Amino acid sequence: MFIGSYAEAKQERIRIQDVSGVAMATILDYAYTGRLQMEPDQVQAVMTAAGLFQVGFICCKAAEYMKDHLDVSNCADVLMYADMLGDSALVEASGRYIASRFSQMVLQPSFLQLPLPLLQSLLNRDDLMTNFEYDIVQGALRWIDFDKERLRHFPVFCSSFRRSFISEKLRMELESKYSTTDYKLVYSDSTVKRLGQTRTRMQIFVTDNYIAPCYDPSSRKLYKMKLPEGVSNFSITVTRDDEIYLAGHTKGFRNGLRIDTQKAFYQYNHLLNTWESRSQMISPRNSCALVCLKGFIYAIGGDSENTAERYDPSCDEWTSIAPLPSAAMLSPCAVPLDDSIYVIKGKSCYCFSTTEDTWRIVADTLPTPLHEQVVEYAGCIYRVCGGHVASSVQIYSPEDGIWKSTGNCKSFPCDYAMLTVYKRPYSRKGMVVDVLYLITVRSKADPDDDPWESLGRRWPRIDLYEYQNWKDSWCKQDSRDKMVPPISQWLEARRLTECLLARMVPTSLEDGSSYKDEQEHSDHMYGSDYMYGYHSPPHPYVGTGE
């Protein structure tokens, strides 16, 4: 412009239109210093100005910044902006993020501003994280109801709705409400499930390690999920709709000094297999009790004053609730039951009423264990109490108001144990029911073991017990039961593992076969008889001519 034949080359002062002073200063600062510093609310303005001045490096960095800071509140705006610029990479990144949070995204005001072509491209995606096609239909209807002039676009949307996954009742409702004599609603014939509908329930084994093995009992496959780096003494909870949250203790540097912070709080993205930062907790917490109840997340204890707070995912905000009425309670256990949350540590047990914001003391537990974990099952609280050589399970019924041992005070020989509630088919009536399991890990044989079963077995081992609550007994399952994860060596090395359950996306997770026991690998080579100790493997040179 300045050295060519343009008119501006002869002018002493040039007015540049539609570029803010902040964006201009940012670009000039980069030109003279090589530093690129942008405020979050100025990124789009800087990227637009950089495009006008053809400063490609800044355009790329601004796009990378927007990709790294996508969230439910801005992803639709970024998508529209990227589409306007013709940045295909940013369009795909923002579109994929919307797909990963589609159920939350449709509730945002910015969703209603999407132009028809962009919205239709979203509705056609296979990777939408929705449980039902019904959710996609409702999202489109919400966009239409915002402006009645949009009603004429409904037949276009129908071509995105997959007929195979829409109930006959819903189709009849749509046709009675939106169909006219001018056109007939035509749906997509695609039989491909959306990615959210392909999720499968997995066991997630969490320790203080940054990798969590995920085991799918239905396919007997192992996967792995990475946890946020730099976070320690963390707690994890899973909501009823399979959202996973993590509260942890982070370490970093400020002004050259190392500082420790919990307040860290993350939400897992099932599609992208990443952890996204959420609003920090009010108080720093170390191994707090993290539990979800009726759409809210509660963080309790883990600090010197036993404070507690509640997180609202709809607005990404924490609010304080009544503190625990006890001395410092580090690493407590917590479990929801009805409208209350029970917090247990040692022999103390407290109950928090979420409706009244009050705490009360309930019955003391049985003798204090070295390690403990609690779950809710069939309206009662079950607590596994572990020592160095054996574990037992206690039960608390709110109706009785007392703690007692299960299974006639039965103890299980193990180094530690985990409780988990899993849904399994009920063979008699073809229905799915919740089943309570106890998973035990031990590193050596028990004198009462069957010597033939133990022959050739490599320790450690995992045992599985199913609880039969109608007769208060634990039934040991076959060691080949598909509910038994083939990672005994990994579990034995870690100790104090918690088993969570969540519906995960297998294709988004990483391969976890490296965690499989060596014995399991031998099973593929020599057959299951060798795996369970009935035969020795063939000599490596037999039949080879060596």
User: Comparing C-alpha atoms, which of 305, 328, 462, 475 is closest to residue 407?
Assistant: 475
User: Rounded to whole angstroms, how far apart are CA atoms 95 and 78?
Assistant: 9
Per residue in 335-362, pLDDT (tens digit) is 999 999 999 887 888 999 999 999 999 8
DSSP state of 183: B
Q: What is the DSSP string of 417-431?
A: EEEEEEEEEETTTTE
pLDDT of the residue at 83: 96
pTM of the model: 0.86
Task: Confirm if 523 and 531 have CB atoms less than 8 A apart.
Answer: yes
pLDDT of the residue at 289: 92
- How far apart, in Å, are the Cα atoms of 338 and each of 302, 357, 378? 24, 14, 11
Give the total residue count for the chain. 546
Number of H helices, E strands in the chain: 14, 27
Per residue in 301-316, pLDDT (tens digit) is 988 888 999 999 988 9
pLDDT of the residue at 479: 73
In the chain, the domains with their CATH numbers are: 199-515 (2.120.10.80)
pLDDT of the residue at 520: 56
Q: Which amino acid is at 28?
A: L
Q: Output the furthest CA–CA distance in the chain (Å, rounded).
A: 98
Q: Note if the bond before 460 is cis, omega within 30 degrees.
A: yes
Structure tokens at 374: 């609690």
Report residues of the chain scoring pLDDT below 70: 179-182, 252-260, 327-329, 368-370, 387, 427-430, 445-459, 519-546
Paired strand residues for 437:
420, 466
Q: Which amino acid is at 232?
A: S
User: Rounded to whole angstroms, how far apart are CA atoms 153 and 25?
Assistant: 44
Per residue in 196-216, pLDDT (tens digit) is 999 999 999 998 888 999 999
Residue 173: how many other CB atoms lie within 10 Å? 12
Paired strand residues for 226:
211
Residue 171: how many other CB atoms lie within 10 Å? 16
| Average model confidence (pLDDT) across the chain | 86
